[in-house]
């Protein structure tokens, strides 16, 4: 019987380091560190939206909108080509999320607001872009 000497797999030494680097990269992408988009703080969200008329596009439902964010927390939005008017209230949470409670709905909707640092803004939930904002007028 001939014995075959087993060869040690040298590639297996770098596998744990490669897996750790991949996990760190995925985390950085998920946090927006590599995407170029950064989450706004509570004060930044308030400064941007309070007292503003905002034009944008609802990415998930596919319509254009024009929304009014009053300083007192009331909110009004004209949506789609029919300019359907919806009203409610808006506020920010301590961690910077913007929340909206529509008059006709029981649940508040809270989302992060992000910027690319070059004048573009969007509303996101996790990794999903909900709306993009095109214009802010005070």
pLDDT in tens, 66-85: 999 999 999 999 999 999 99
- Cα 63 from chain centre: 18
Q: Is the dihedral of CA 39, 42, 47, 48 positive or negative?
A: positive
The pair of structure tokens assigned to 83 is 């300019």
Cβ pair 118, 109 in contact under 8 A: no
pLDDT tens-digit readout, 80-117 = 999 999 999 999 999 999 999 999 999 999 999 999 99
Cβ pair 49, 59 in contact under 8 A: no
Q: How many helices (H) and strands (E) does the chain have?
A: 2, 9
- pLDDT given for residue 25 in this prediction: 45
- Pairing outcome for strands 74-79 and 84-92: antiparallel
- pLDDT given for residue 11 in this prediction: 54
Residues in Cβ contact with 74 at an 8 Å cutoff, skipping those fewer than 6 apart: 87, 88, 89, 90
pLDDT tens-digit readout, 14-44 = 555 545 554 554 544 444 445 699 999 999 9
Q: Where are the beta strands (DSSP E) in the chain?
A: 38-39, 52-58, 63-69, 74-79, 84-92, 98-102, 109-115, 121-125, 128-137
Residues in Cβ contact with 59 at an 8 Å cutoff, skipping those fewer than 6 apart: 122, 129, 130, 131, 132
Strand partners, 76: 68, 87
């Amino acid at each position: 019987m001939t014995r075959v000497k087993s060869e040690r797999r040298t590639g297996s030494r770098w596998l744990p380091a490669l897996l750790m680097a991949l996990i760190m990269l995925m985390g950085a992408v998920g946090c927006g560190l590599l995407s170029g988009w950064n989450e706004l703080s509570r004060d930044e969200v308030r400064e941007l939206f309070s007292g503003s008329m905002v034009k944008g596009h609802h990415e998930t439902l596919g319509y254009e909108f024009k929304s009014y964010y009053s300083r007192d927390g009331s909110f009004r939005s004209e949506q789609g080509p029919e300019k359907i008017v919806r009203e409610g209230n808006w506020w920010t949470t301590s961690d910077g999320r913007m929340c909206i409670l529509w008059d006709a709905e029981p649940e508040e909707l809270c989302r992060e607001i992000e910027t690319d640092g070059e004048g573009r803004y969007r509303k996101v939930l996790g990794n999903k872009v909900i709306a993009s904002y095109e214009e802010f007028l005070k």
